[in-house]
Amino acid sequence: MKKNSARVYELKEELRACRQRKGMTVDDYYNKLKTIWEDLATYQHKPNSCLCGGSNCEDVKTSRDEERLHQFLLGLDASIYTNVKNEILDMDPLPSLEQAYSMVAQEEDNRVSSNQELSGELVVDVISNVEEESVETADTNLGVTVKKDEDFGQWYSQTYFDAVLEKAEVDENYFPLFVSASVLEKEKDHVQGFAPEVAWVTKAGKSDLNIPIAIRPTSETVIYPYFSKWIKSHRDLPLKLNQWNNVVRWEFSKPTPFIRSREFLWQEGHTAHATEEEADKEVLEVLDHYRHLYEEYLAVPVVKGMKSENEKFAGARYTTSVEAFIPETGRGIQGATSHCLGTKFAKMFDIKFTNKEGKTELVWQNSWAYSTRTKAFVLAHMKVFNLFLKIGVMIMTHGDDKGLVNPPKVAPIQVIVIPVPFKDADTKEISKACCAVKDALREAGIRAKEDLSDNYSPKWKYSHWEMKGVPLRIEIGPRDLAKNQVRTVRRDNGVKADVPRGGLVEHVMELLGNIQQNMFDVAKQKRDDACVVVKTWDEFVEALGQKKLILAPWCDEEEVEMDVKRRTKDEVGAAKTLCSPFDQPEILEGTLCFASGKLAKKWTYWGKSY
Ligand code: 87F
């Protein structure tokens, strides 16, 4: 707990003045309040470190929550939200702050969609299947996402990453979903900050449980007691485990499918090593696998680097990450993390081994993860990011946006073959040719499919498969049949070509390779164009306002990062460090920190982030 009366006073003043100004979204207003509450909490007394809530701290928490709820409602734009505000205040018991926030956000969503419809802004989707996805809305509000299997279930990148794990001799495991309060509290120190996000099961049917049970937000506390049992000798090391699972974190901000959902899927790797060097080496190896996954498979450029002290996982010695940037929204997004935990958890969970000399030592641990957020990158890349940010509204803002563009390496369907029978054409022969082409492609390991359905026109099918993101379309019509050729149409750039049937398989393979490369090159160019190097505070603020990814010389001090957050939160939205890239440009002698004016220690990426 810090002590600083003047600062507390200042924050309370900010809180009092915090209002949802005209044009400000409910999300922005709520986040602004949250930042002030969080800031304030660092100066205020914390009741105790109980996680499940003893009676005293529960009382303090309840009155604090009610106060926050009132503050939130007080500052809402009264010309819009009076009805929903009254509805909330009439509820007995009062809803939680997050529930109230969801209700107001829902009201905002409803208004946005009806306004857009009224003003004719809503671009009616030409692709008919879109409505079926709007059923997500109800679940989305809960922060849990339902997706039709072909869009989501494949959890694409798992196939590639499974091979990586296999090669690195990481064993697959599965640990329980539930964690008891006493086990979770074992790592109280770092769970403390996350405590509000832990979801608890408190009832079975109608009976209250004697002891509430947490749903795993991450699995350290579930897995490490087993590490303690399983590791006795240096012969048991390294121990490397992975599990693909779901975790639950009760996010306060509005859930956004894939980006911020309360239940999400991830792989979490947990390893134990005999030496610090071995652990350090693995951290970077894993990080490079993540880079490879993003760049080579998802065609998304990322930066590998070190997280700041503020942004690292509190339980880690250090945290590394791969960071991507979404130029359309001007925000950075962490793609995956690889932590070196040192011997902190080994001490907490008593994970020791007898070394070759017969002496007892603590193990060195790492943990690493990437989640379904990866899918968001693919979506971002696919230009329909806005569609997913505005899930439920389901609009496409640009006329030429046709839906998804899957990178060939992870596309569930890589090639769609479509017959184009003109009037009086020999439909049977065309269909036969489509099947033969599909068979030849599949024979060569290409994920091809034909669409011979007779109740849709070729044009409908083009739109349908474009929306699904199939990277390459092959059309076969009577003219193609006569000339023993096919027409190829690329999804990434729309380029069409007539290709002879002989040698088609090789040609398609080459095309898929080109599409993959082109998607990466275009994304990288956009990312690079969005990046600026700044040296001064003014340049920094200007760049932030222009939604840039900012590389700046920094003194690497925690307080300065907090200060940057504070100073930027009002004008342009709080900026934070994304990472200090491992690939550091040279720091010339005497270079000063853009924010503090002290000597700069490293170049660091800054920006707004998800
Ligand atoms: C939310 C609630 C409780 C993140 C939480 O990154 C605990 C936590 O420990 C928590 N949110 N974290 C940090 C997770 C760290 C770590 N775990 C294993 C990883 C990689 C995989």
Whole-angstrom Cα distance, residue 288 to residue 242?
17
Q: Are 332 and 388 in contact (CB under 8 A)?
A: no
Q: Where in the chain is the domain with CATH 3.40.50.800?
A: 415-527
Measured from the Cα of 314, ligand 1's closest atom is 13
Q: Where in the chain is the domain with CATH 3.30.110.30?
A: 534-609
**Hey, which residues does 6 pair with through a beta bridge?**
none
Going from the Cα of 315 to the center of ligand 1, the distance in angstroms, rounded, reads 9
Neighbours of 493 (CB within 10 A): 12
Measured from the Cα of 368, ligand 1's closest atom is 20
Whole-angstrom Cα distance, residue 520 to residue 540?
28
Q: CA-CA-CA-CA torsion for 108, 114, 118, 122, nearest 10 degrees? A: 100
Residue that the structure tokens 């940010």 belong to = 389
Q: pLDDT per residue over 136-183, tens digit each? A: 344 444 544 444 444 433 445 677 888 999 999 999 999 999 999 888
The tokens describing 594, both together, are 């853009």
Mutation pick for ligand 1 pocket among 194, 317, 320 (CB with most ligand atoms within 8 Å):
194
Predicted local distance difference test score (pLDDT) of residue 348: 93
Q: What's the CATH architecture for 534-609? A: 2-Layer Sandwich (3.30)
Predicted local distance difference test score (pLDDT) of residue 319: 98
Going from the Cα of 218 to the center of ligand 1, the distance in angstroms, rounded, reads 5
| Residues of the chain below pLDDT 50 | 47-55, 113-141, 143-155, 380-400
Sign, CA dihedral 326-568-25-397, equals negative
- State whether the beta carbon of 280 lies less than 6 angstroms from ligand 1: no
Strands of 178-180's sheet, edge to edge? Answer: 178-180, 207-215, 200-204
Mutation pick for ligand 1 pocket among 186, 218, 289, 311 (CB with most ligand atoms within 8 Å):
218
Predicted local distance difference test score (pLDDT) of residue 570: 77
Going from the Cα of 61 to the center of ligand 1, the distance in angstroms, rounded, reads 23
Predicted local distance difference test score (pLDDT) of residue 54: 46
Measured from the Cα of 319, ligand 1's closest atom is 6
Q: What are the CA-CA distances from residue 264 to residues 145, 249, 369 (Å)?
A: 8, 8, 12
Q: For residue 372, how many C-alpha atoms fall within 13 Å in the half-sphere facing its CB?
A: 24
Measured from the Cα of 266, ligand 1's closest atom is 21
CATH class for the region spanning 169-396: alpha beta
Closest-CA residue, ligand 1 atom 13, reads 313
- State whether the beta carbon of 218 lies less than 6 angstroms from ligand 1: yes
The pTM of the full predicted model, rounded to 2 decimals, is 0.76
Going from the Cα of 194 to the center of ligand 1, the distance in angstroms, rounded, reads 8
Whole-angstrom Cα distance, residue 100 to residue 95?
6
Predicted local distance difference test score (pLDDT) of residue 47: 47
Q: Does the domain made of 415-527 have the CATH classification 3.40.50.800?
A: yes
- State whether the beta carbon of 197 lies less than 6 angstroms from ligand 1: yes
